[in-house]
Structure 1
Amino acid sequence: MELFGIEAWVVNAQHIKMVPGRKTDVKDAEWIASLMRHGLLKRSFIPNRPQRELRELLRYRKSMIDERSRELNRMQKVLEGANIKLASVASDILGVSSRKMIEGIIEGQSTPEELAQHAKGRMKAKKDELAKALDGLVGPHQQMMLSEQLKHLDYLDEQIKRLDHAVARQMNMAEELIQLLDTIPGVGRRTAEHLLGEVGLDMSRFPDAAHLASWVGMAPGNNESAGKRKSGRTRKGNKHLRSALVEAGRAATRTKDTFLSAMYHRIAARRGKNRAALAVGHRILVIFYHIVTNREPYKELGANYHDQRRKQSVVNRTVKRLEAMGYKVTIEETSQAA
């Protein structure tokens, strides 16, 4: 960008800090100018105006979705305070049946059996459980709180729907890419829109997927001294994109017989669930880079892909564990395995 007719650069402060030089105010300015003349500085990525506006829209929608989740938790707290255990029977307390029951509570239908009659579909088979769960102590205060919270949730639903339409209009040109990204396990339309809005459609600014992961702050740290590896925590980066990727990583773990789900469970057994979700989110980002670059859909590798690649290591490790337990193991490969 230009400032008073002079080209101005925005560079990474952390990168400048790593370059040696004097750090007083005046000397620092002179040193930075010298670094720029010698080509030792890199420009920071600043998206253009349409992408900045799209980012603002996407982040605002995410905040509204988060606010809806918080309001739903507040409603759940009011129900629990009235000794109504609706969540123990219904998986969604704002489903068709559950909403009718909550509206009945607000209107004063205090008989549990009467409220349970609002059950629809598969919930009809749980009327006896619902009657027990809805047997609580509801007063005017709880009715007023539930009424206001239900109105707030309806307002948030309408607002999120309007934001969805606004995002769809701005991302109309990227519809094909959104459909391709939707093939990744754990990535839905909103997550795909968020990824494209934060990173953009041009992957040429990143030499490879590793550079993109480093820019986002999803790359593992490299801290080694005297031959010892210390904490490899990730660096700071785009917190909005990082949050979306970790959320997508957790969603991918609930898919069946997929490479990402198997990867999560393999890492979680050794490093814990949070690091495993971060690792899966990093892998989703790498997949995102290649899909956007090559314009090809995601190709599922299967849950046993890792074991097949390291087949002999898996066999040796299993044999050692069995021998440590006092068994004598003989390995014979079947025709199917061959």
Structure 2
Amino acid sequence: MNLYLGIDVGKNKLDFCALDSDQRCCFQGETTNDLNGAIKIKQTVLTETQTHHYEKITAGMEATSVYNFHPMTFLAEDSELQALGLSVITINPYTSHHFSQLFNDGKTDAIDAKQLADLLRVEPLGTPVARQENYVALQRLTRERYHLVKQMTDSKNHFLNNLYYRCNTLERELPTSVFGSAMMTLITDEELTLDEAAALPLDELVTHLQQLAHGKFGDAEAVAKAIKKATRSSYRLSKVVTDSVDEILAVYANEIRMLKKQIQVLDKTITQISTQNTDINCLTSVPGIGPVYAAGIVAEIGQIERFPDESHIAKYAGLAWLPHESGTSVRQATPRTRKGNQYLRYYLVEAANSIRRYDITYQRYYHKKYEEVPKYRHRRAIVLTARKLVRLVEVLLRNHQFYIPPKVV
């Protein structure tokens, strides 16, 4: 006889329901989502096990942003519950939602808790919780870095959109990035506007660019010529619109600089922590994987024992293509699942994009997949390369070994 405890997590309260193997409701109730509430659930479980013997006890709750973290961690780490053999599983909300549609019970928090317990009874769908606190500490850093990178990408897109209003051919003509420190200062400078800088003689503009870059500008003359050409060929705006666009460009330029500094601070902290983790050291032995990408992968995978094999890691990361058959018809092009861990998928894809520049095996595989299709070449090739990387990550982490490049003939 087994006991299945479903917990519906809200910001302020926890609804819980326990079913046994015969689908009998052993206990049900609600409590606050704080330490006292978690202790109440624990005491209820201990009381139930004093009167009935259960071979296995499984608790499950949906992954609900940050609200499930504390009750999940409390139940997973409590010594008395661990003595009973209790295991805690996080359930994909997509899975529980479709399971609830099989019934015509309506929707309340109490019903959701019972259905979660029933889902666990049918099959423990989900991944066991990472138990060691060092994984949680890494997760907080790597996940916030992910969000900062997304903010940086959004800010850059807004900057480019407004730059197109200001000088629509500048990005196309420049032989360098517009997000370099000197170029962003030139574009958003209030004392010497972009049009005024372009009106300077070529040698003075070259000198001005070198001063902005503190003498470290590359081919300043080529950039100066590109700026002059872009300002001549771009559309003209009225002064009112130009002033508005300049203000917006300055705002986004400051935001990009701020986000860049914040990402650098997080990268430094992640690198310091990474030196003490043997799993991260195993992954950084792969050419192209630095401590930040390795930390992001290890933080999301946690204990490798949570996954039976590499295919489960790939599915957990959302790097799986589900088969589609009907009778004798087999679909050749199947879509990739979108239900995986976005953080793990991001760091695997970024690591794969870096590895292909250093490792000849991954470089050849990337180019092979790149040439197979006429559209979305890079996106498809890099995702497939990330799927290939999952196999290597699983072997290195499970065997605690360093990477040895294969001999290339």
Question: TM-score, length-normalised on structure 1?
Answer: 0.70
User: What residue in structure 2 maps to residue 196 of structure 1?
Assistant: 298
Q: Is the Cα–Cα contact under 8 Å of residues 249 and 281 in structure 1 kept in the other structure?
A: yes
Q: 1:294 to 1:82 in 2, by over 3 A?
A: same
CA shift digits 1:195-241 (9 cap, x unpaired): 111112x2122232223223323233233343432353343221222
Q: 1:140 to 1:223 in 2, by over 3 A?
A: closer
CA shift digits 1:121-150 (9 cap, x unpaired): 422241333332355657433332232222
Name which of 180, 194, 197 aligns with 1:111. Answer: 197
Task: Determine helix, strand or coil for the equivalent of 2:305.
Answer: coil
What CA distance in whole angstroms lies between the structure 1 residues aligned with 2:270 and 2:221?
Answer: 40
Aligned-pair identity (%): 19
Once the two structures are TM-superposed, the CA of residue 166 in structure 1 deviates from its matched residue by 4.0
What CA distance in whole angstroms lies between the structure 2 residues aligned with 1:61 and 1:183?
Answer: 22
What CA distance in whole angstroms lies between the structure 1 residues aligned with 2:258 and 2:97?
Answer: 47
Equivalent AA in structure 2 for residue 130 of structure 1: I
1:285 matches 2:404: no
Once the two structures are TM-superposed, the CA of residue 153 in structure 1 deviates from its matched residue by 1.8
User: What residue in structure 2 maps to residue 55 of structure 1?
Assistant: 139
Question: TM-score, length-normalised on structure 2?
Answer: 0.60
Q: 1:32 to 1:94 in 2, by over 3 A?
A: closer
Q: Is the Cα–Cα contact under 8 Å of residues 396 and 403 in structure 2 kept in the other structure?
A: yes
What CA distance in whole angstroms lies between the structure 2 residues aligned with 1:195 and 1:77?
Answer: 33
Equivalent AA in structure 2 for residue 198 of structure 1: E
More strand by share: 2
User: What residue in structure 2 maps to residue 329 of structure 1?
Assistant: none
Aligned residues: 295
Equivalent AA in structure 1 for residue 184 of structure 2: R
User: What residue in structure 1 maps to residue 228 of structure 2?
Assistant: 131
Equivalent AA in structure 2 for residue 208 of structure 1: D
CA shift digits 1:276-318 (9 cap, x unpaired): 322111111211112222333333347xx6xx8xxxxxxxxxx
Equivalent AA in structure 2 for residue 246 of structure 1: V
- 5+ long unaligned stretches in structure 2: 6-37, 46-56, 61-88, 106-110, 211-215
Q: Is the Cα–Cα contact under 8 Å of residues 59 and 240 in structure 1 kept in the other structure?
A: yes
What CA distance in whole angstroms lies between the structure 1 residues aligned with 2:279 and 2:290?
Answer: 12
What CA distance in whole angstroms lies between the structure 1 residues aligned with 2:248 and 2:206?
Answer: 21
Q: Which moved more, 1:122-131 or 1:276-285?
A: 122-131
- 5+ long unaligned stretches in structure 1: 309-338
Q: 1:216 to 1:148 in 2, by over 3 A?
A: closer
Task: Determine helix, strand or coil for the equivalent of 1:204.
Answer: helix
Once the two structures are TM-superposed, the CA of residue 185 in structure 1 deviates from its matched residue by 5.3
Once the two structures are TM-superposed, the CA of residue 256 in structure 1 deviates from its matched residue by 6.5
Q: Is the Cα–Cα contact under 8 Å of residues 258 and 300 in structure 1 kept in the other structure?
A: no
Equivalent AA in structure 2 for residue 97 of structure 1: A
Q: Is the Cα–Cα contact under 8 Å of residues 221 and 233 in structure 1 kept in the other structure?
A: yes
Equivalent AA in structure 2 for residue 191 of structure 1: Y
Once the two structures are TM-superposed, the CA of residue 102 in structure 1 deviates from its matched residue by 2.6
1:145 matches 2:231: no
1:244-255 equivalence runs, <5 A: 244-253=347-356, 255=357
Once the two structures are TM-superposed, the CA of residue 172 in structure 1 deviates from its matched residue by 4.5
What CA distance in whole angstroms lies between the structure 2 residues aligned with 1:229 and 1:197?
Answer: 37
What CA distance in whole angstroms lies between the structure 2 residues aligned with 1:281 and 1:43?
Answer: 22
Equivalent AA in structure 1 for residue 322 of structure 2: G
What CA distance in whole angstroms lies between the structure 1 residues aligned with 2:205 and 2:155?
Answer: 23
Q: Is the Cα–Cα contact under 8 Å of residues 106 and 144 in structure 1 kept in the other structure?
A: no
1:264 matches 2:366: yes
What CA distance in whole angstroms lies between the structure 1 residues aligned with 2:98 and 2:243?
Answer: 63
1:220 matches 2:303: no
User: What residue in structure 2 maps to residue 232 of structure 1?
Assistant: 334
1:89 matches 2:174: yes
Q: Is the Cα–Cα contact under 8 Å of residues 348 and 386 in structure 2 kept in the other structure?
A: yes
Q: Is the Cα–Cα contact under 8 Å of residues 115 and 131 in structure 1 kept in the other structure?
A: no
What CA distance in whole angstroms lies between the structure 1 residues aligned with 2:344 and 2:295?
Answer: 11
Q: 1:71 to 1:83 in 2, by over 3 A?
A: same
